[in-house]
Amino acid sequence: MKSPILEFIQSLHARYLAVDEGRVADYIPELSKANPKAFGICVATRDGHLYEAGDTRQGFTIQSISKAFTYGLALEDRGEDHVLSRIGVEPSGEAFNAISLQEGSGKPFNPMINAGAIATCGQVLRKDGASRFDRIAEYLSRCAGQSLSIDEAVYRSESATGHRNRAIGWMLRNFNILDEDPDEILEAYFQQCSLRVTCTDLAVMGATLANQGINPISGERAIAPEFVDNVLGVMATCGMYDWSGEWIYRVGLPAKSGVGGGILAVLPGQLGIGVFSPPLDGQGNSVRGIKVCMDLARDLSLHLFNPSAVPQTALRLSYTGNQMMSRRRRPAMDFHYLKRFGERTRVLELQGPLIFSTFEPVVRTLVRHAPYCQQVVMNFRHVVNVDPVSMRLLAEVRSRLESNGIRLLCCHAQRFRRPLLAAGIPAGAIFDTDDEALEDCETFLLAGAAEVAGRSPDAVPLSECDLLSSLSPDELAIMEAAAETRAFAPRQSVIESGGDADEWFVLTAGTVEVSLPETGNRRRRLDVLSAGMSFGEMAFIDGSKRSADVIATEPSTCRVWSRAWFDSLDQSHPALKIHLLHQLSRQLSARLRQANLEISTLKS
């Protein structure tokens, strides 16, 4: 099946193929040889997918588009303050090659006009035997994800005729914006402008800027993350020369054009666009390039200031610990206690990226619920990433909850372990699964409950076990007499999945876990049963095989009845059998009710 997105890009290409406005740059003689009909469009997504139409693999010189990247390198080499002291960030409102410097200081208005770009080149350091140009070429190549080489003919042509740029270089030297004579710097500048790229390269370089400086195809860090916004900032205000205001108004994307016919545009966080078409308008911007970007921005709603792109709340679901309980099955008394007081546990399921505007509604919800809570669980299962601001807010929330005596637990959060620990969440409060976090909350609630505090959970007489507690003493005696007693050591198997289900167990001491093997050594926990609870009886009703393993997690004791004995009750003690079946169906209906509640909670 053909992608409708690819079809859209191709239709855009077809729409403007016949346009023959504009003129190929000829002030650098070699550039005048460019084919005016060449035309390519490429969109690179933040995860490195390319949509291409037309001449996307044809080489041309990058020209001024290089300026944005060299600016990033200069910032990395010298730091923001130093670079800002030499080169401004104000739109000049003048042509790209204007010999305009700020009055008095001689500072170029911005790094996107030639004066600023030459000054920027002078800021790049020579390092470890690598020349300025070597370092620039290497930096741009990392952004493109492949080694870029010079178009020697264009370079020689530009160097031979670059008198105006030389004049600018000497002006910069005069004002001490350049610390050394400009000859070598100018050559490096001419060379950087003569690097050959394709339309695809431009889109990938744009996607690298969109992706916080990491090339989405190679996965390599190409631009230091702290300078990505600086680079995009000057592109947005100055990237299209004296058409920059119109551009940001109409297209709304940081962009940079070059007289070779390229335009690179970026939708931060989302995608990079490369367009190539040599004929230029009066400002030196590609005519078709502008038309394509205007249509792309309008038709795909890419304008940076378009509110349709506003992120949504990170709060996916909010419920309490009695609406959703852990898989741990507990004796009826504990269960009823948890049904009553589970409200004191608040679970917030989060989703998407956590940034200020998505996390703010979560904080608001927490502030509202805090007075009624004893503990809060944040579920990170559907969170894709966390930014430093949201982690700072989380740290604040945590310490405020703590001073109000409220516990904060996180689950499905191993991926974010490091930032969570830094936000002050103790390692013991970070759980692999929501089930474990909920179980911990329940255990915590029960530990604080006066009703259950005095009772030893270690050994429960049959008369107090859930299914048997309403039997008469005579009936209990019959049960006692028929039961086998079995003891299990920790990690010993009680039931194996797949086996015949011909026994019914009541756990009178210890704890067992019901689980299924997962990949590796991991097991998926389905249930945890504590003393007083029964298991295995379901299969007595529907005759199925054992569907999971049951393993003792501590020294445990079970009382066991055989199916043959259970069946024989029909004849020997029908009243007892009816009683047991009645108890069984009561228990099943209580569990079904809880399951229904949990399903509706998750669906809400």
The distance from CA 453 to its chain's CA centroid, rounded to whole angstroms, is 43
The distance from CA 509 to its chain's CA centroid, rounded to whole angstroms, is 45
Residue nearest ligand GLN (C-beta atom)? 64
Closest to ligand GLN by CB, 161 vs 176, is 161
Binder to ligand GLN among 10, 97, 146, 270 (CB under 6 A)?
97
Residue 258, interface with ligand GLN (CB under 6 A)? yes
Edge-to-edge strand ranges of the sheet holding 375-386? 315-320, 345-354, 375-386, 407-411, 430-431
Closest to ligand GLN by CB, 19 vs 167, is 167
Of the residues 24, 259, 362, 376, which is catalytic?
259
Residue 259, interface with ligand GLN (CB under 6 A)? yes
- Give yes or no for a contact between 270 and 232, defined as CB atoms under 8 angstroms apart: no
Residue 69, interface with ligand GLN (CB under 6 A)? no
Of the residues 241, 275, 494, 530, which is catalytic?
241
Closest to ligand GLN by CB, 261 vs 536, is 261
Is 43 an annotated catalytic residue? no
Residue 326, interface with ligand GLN (CB under 6 A)? no
Of the residues 24, 64, 228, 556, which is catalytic?
64
Q: How far apart are CA 402 and CA 396, in angstroms?
A: 10
Is 257 an annotated catalytic residue? no
Distances from the Cα of 248 to the Cαs of 90, 229, 232, 303, 581, in angstroms?
Answer: 15, 16, 12, 8, 75
Bridge-based pairing of strands 345-354 and 262-267 is unpaired
Q: How far apart are CA 42 and CA 154, in angstroms?
A: 24
Q: How far apart are CA 410 and CA 376, in angstroms?
A: 8
Terminal alpha carbon distance of the chain: 35
Q: How far apart are CA 464 and CA 486, in angstroms?
A: 18
Residue 193, interface with ligand GLN (CB under 6 A)? yes
Least gap, CB of 180 to ligand GLN (angstroms)? 20
Residue 548, interface with ligand GLN (CB under 6 A)? no
Residue 96, interface with ligand GLN (CB under 6 A)? yes
Is 189 an annotated catalytic residue? yes
The distance from CA 75 to its chain's CA centroid, rounded to whole angstroms, is 27
Residue 283, interface with ligand GLN (CB under 6 A)? no
Is 603 an annotated catalytic residue? no
Q: How far apart are CA 358 and CA 355, in angstroms?
A: 5
Of the residues 24, 66, 67, 286, which is catalytic?
67
Residue 158, interface with ligand GLN (CB under 6 A)? yes
Residue 515, interface with ligand GLN (CB under 6 A)? no
* β-sheet bridge partners, residue 256: 264
Residue 100, interface with ligand GLN (CB under 6 A)? no
Is 493 an annotated catalytic residue? no
Q: How far apart are CA 227 and CA 2, in angstroms?
A: 38
Least gap, CB of 24 to ligand GLN (angstroms)? 13
Mind telling me the catalytic residues?
64, 67, 189, 241, 259
Binding residues vs ligand GLN (CB under 6 A): 63-64, 96-97, 114, 158, 165, 193, 258-259, 284
